[in-house]
Amino acid sequence: MKRAFRYRFYPSEAQAVELSRTFGCVRKVYNLALQARTEAWAQSGERIGYAATSTLLTTWKRTEELAFLCEVSSVPLQQSLRHLQTGFTNFFAKRARYPRFKSRKKSRSSAEYTRSAFRWRDGRLTLAKMAEPLDIRWSRPLPDEATPSTVTVSRDSAGRWFVSLLCEDPGVTPLPARDSAVGIDVGLDHLLVLSTGEKIGNPRHERRDRTALARAQRALCRKQKGSSNRAKARIKVARVHARITDRRTDHLHKITTRLVRDTQTLVIEDLAVSNLARNHRLARAINDAGWRQFRQQLEYKARWYGRDVIVVNRWFPSSKLCSVCGTLAAAMPLHLRVWTCGCGTTHDRDVNAARNILAAGLAVTVCGTGVRPQRNTPGGQSVTKQKPLRCEPQESLLREGMEVKLGTPDRSG
């Protein structure tokens, strides 16, 4: 399993100049290639691939206007063309939007080096066009006898330099199987609520630094545009944002690692976070919670360690459905955190939702894709939004709540 190890490093003045020049050339080549491919399609309907843009790169280097491209390593420039090719491949496969031009102010500053453009010797990394190795702060060791296959150097908006080393990690192996499953409901009062009843608090990292962020932003607004003082003030704002992001990422890594290690099957909701963030009253809190990042970490760690992640349809009424009798409540406003069902069971809204998410997710593994739990309306009629397919294991999951037993999934229906 290949894994990227990211470290911070502190370049010398000469190295910083060389890397900044490389970032600019990478961005320039990417934009030129994107423009050439777009114009070729608009004018003659011709598709230009990586090979054609690589030939164009050689032509650009020979011109007087773009002769500065010869001053940096050619490998990051070729890699930028490969990244553009990947972007078009994803676009034609309908996995992404049409590639966009890179901006000097907003785009990520990075350059990718392959083995022919760096030297790795005795734990010291030296990039092409540089005489001295990088001053890397090894916050964690690389795997034994690991040799990087790709090196990516980047600089964030706060002016911090990072190097990412892609190498084989023999430590990423499937964990021993467990007979356990958990449903996860995300929220704002509590970041996560598990079907076991455990509630993980929401640290609200942005709220903790909101005063410092507002002070730095006010100072930035007072500076004249284009001045060096404004550039310094912008970096101060970026550092506050970076501190918030780092704390949020670290917290989510600790949570997802624990969940993946302790649980075999994890069931979550398929939330449209971007749509939920359109609520202007909750957008700031939703973005601060990091729900999308939580799901991304959970999914790739589950692939690493042999765990299962089941995603439940976003329209599944997990909060309004009684996890004991299956009755569907008519309404469930957000301010109602505890409610009592007609069967006499008093539910914590979030714990009940997590249990319903678990039951629905496991029912899919037992009865097949597309099966939803049958539920009873207050009038006593059985209702299902899909074809009325009865599934005894599925109904038992809803009645018993957390008392479930995992076995070999029967997909016969």
Report DSSP letters for 264-319, one per residue.
SEEEEE---HHHHTT-TTTHHHHHHHTHHHHHHHHHHHHHHHT-EEEEE-TT--TT
CB atoms within 10 A of CB 334: 9
> Which pLDDT score, from 0 to 100, does residue 264 have?
93
Q: What does the domain layout of the chain look like in residue ranges?
A: 2-168, 181-309, 315-400
Q: What share of the chain is helix, strand, coil (3-state, %, to 5)?
A: 45, 20, 40
Query: Which amino acid is it at 206?
Result: E
Indicate if the pLDDT at residue 375 is higher than 50. no
> Which pLDDT score, from 0 to 100, does residue 379 have?
46
Question: What's the rounded Cα separation, in Å, for the pair 20 and 28?
Answer: 12
43 alpha-carbon distance from chain centroid:
37
Instruction: Tally DSSP H helices, then E strands, for the chain.
Output: 11, 16
Contacts of residues 344-351 at CB distance under 8 Å and 24 or more positions apart, as own/partner, are: 347/322, 347/323, 349/319, 350/185, 350/187, 350/189, 350/190, 350/193, 350/199, 351/185, 351/193, 351/195, 351/197, 351/199
CA angle 146, 5, 257 (to 5 degrees): 115
> Which pLDDT score, from 0 to 100, does residue 368 have?
57
Q: State the average pLDDT over residues 302-307.
A: 93
Higher-scoring residue by pLDDT: 320, 234: 234
- Active site (annotated) includes residue 185: yes
Question: What's the rounded Cα separation, in Å, for the pair 366 and 148?
Answer: 43
> Which pLDDT score, from 0 to 100, does residue 91 have?
95
CA angle 169, 145, 260 (to 5 degrees): 20
- Active site (annotated) includes residue 262: no
| Percentage of residues of the chain with pLDDT beyond 90 | 67
To which residue do tokens 């479930």 refer?
A: 404
Question: What's the rounded Cα separation, in Å, for the pair 350 and 373?
Answer: 18
> Which pLDDT score, from 0 to 100, does residue 345 have?
84
Of 18, 206, 288, 350, the active-site residue reads 350
Question: What's the rounded Cα separation, in Å, for the pair 7 and 176?
Answer: 30
Of 185, 262, 400, 410, the active-site residue reads 185
Which of 61-70, 82-91, 231-240, 277-286 is least confident? 277-286
- pLDDT tens, residue by residue, 376-390: 444 444 443 333 333
> Which pLDDT score, from 0 to 100, does residue 330 have?
82
- C-alpha distance from residue 122 to each of 8, 125, 147, 188 (Å): 18, 9, 10, 48
Total length of the chain: 413
Of 18, 112, 206, 269, the active-site residue reads 269
Q: State the average pLDDT over residues 99-127.
A: 93
Quick one: pLDDT band at residue 315, thresholds 50, 70, 90?
confident
Region for 359 from its dihedrals, namely left if φ exceeds 0, alpha if ψ lies in -120 to 50, beta otherwise: alpha
Which of 62-76, 244-258, 396-410 is least confident? 396-410
Q: Collect all residues with Cβ–Cβ distance below 8 Å to 399 and sequence separation of at least 6.
A: 324, 325, 326
Q: State the average pLDDT over residues 50-78.
A: 95
Q: Of 349, 347, 326, which is closest to residue 396 (Cα–Cα)?
A: 326
Quick one: pLDDT band at residue 369, thresholds 50, 70, 90?
low
Q: Rounded to 5 degrees, what are φ and ψ at 183?
A: -95, 140
- Active site (annotated) includes residue 392: no
Q: Record the pTM.
A: 0.81
Q: State the average pLDDT over residues 315-333.
A: 85
- pLDDT tens, residue by residue, 25-60: 999 999 999 999 999 999 988 889 999 999 999 999
Question: What's the rounded Cα separation, in Å, for the pair 384 and 240?
Answer: 49
| Per-position b or e across 293-331, b if 16+ CB within 10 A of its CB | bbbebbbebbebeebbbbbbeeebbbbbbbbbebbebee
